[in-house]
Amino acid sequence: MRKIIIDTDPGQDDAVAILLALASSELEVLGITAVAGNVPLALTQKNARIICELAGRPDIKVFAGAERPLVRELVTAEYVHGKTGLNGPKWPEPKMPLQDGHAVRFIIDTLRDHDKGSVTLCVLGPLTNIALALVQAPDIASRIQEIILMGGGFFEGGNTTPAAEFNIYVDPHAAKTVFTAGIPLVIMPLDVTHKALTTAKRIAAFRGIGNAAGKATAEMMAFFERFDEEKYGTDGGPLHDPNVIAYLLEPDIYKGRKVNVEVETGSELTMGMTVVDWWAVTDRAPNALWIKDLDDDRFFGLLVARLKTLP
């Protein structure tokens, strides 16, 4: 069983990633840490608890983390996710409690309490919590099995500025801290997530599951995709964050290359850009596995099969 911590800013696509993790017996979710990103922290920590209850898992520990990026002012994305971050379904107020203590402290303590190299961090939002943990406790870098994250773009450019993807743009300084920490990284950029489209047929498959999780997922996707359909002119929008969890479950769905990835933090024009040395034109050592392709039918098949097991 793979032990993971999910760091997240839900977000409809984050919600589906959490559902996939909680529906997978191969994964032991040690806790969920919320960060400000798609919407402010007060909503992301609430949304994480809503999704745990939807999955029938009120036992999962949810912690609130950073309210703002390390250096810059917080940028949010209600224009994509709606005012709550989970627009689409009508959600009840969560009954499960928010845990006492800060998310960063939980990350540090959990990594120290478990065997070295036995915990994977699955990062679905800005990297603020992870960077703060590394700054406060540098020893944990060598204890992390790997970090799998959704963020960045190279061939696809950016989705928030011409150069930058949202998660990296929100806190580029945190991303730079993580990318230079010497931790094994697997990156799910826009280059691959833009190939995982929630077509009408795929949304119908979620709705056809017949359980609460399937219905909620279909309603979230129907709301979430409207922005990207208009923006990109595609049938459906990209389903970003569940790729992080799917990679843990079936890595052979994906293809990528080990490359060097640096984050721009000095230029307002390209702030948050992920500079990927795809063709090895520098002498910078590879620091990440950059995922570029996936079998999208297998990806959505996995999602439907696992969500069927939920309430």
Supply 119's token pair. 């915990």
Rounded Cα distance, 131 and 133, in Å: 5
Which residues are designated catalytic?
Answer: 240
Across 178-284, the runs of DSSP E, i.e. the strands, are 185-188, 254-259, 261-263, 274-276
Rounded Cα distance, 267 and 127, in Å: 19
Strand partners, 263: 274
Half-sphere CA count of 299, side-chain side, radius 13 A: 28
Residues of 238-251 as b/e, b for ≥16 C-beta within 10 angstroms?
bbbbbbbbbbbbee
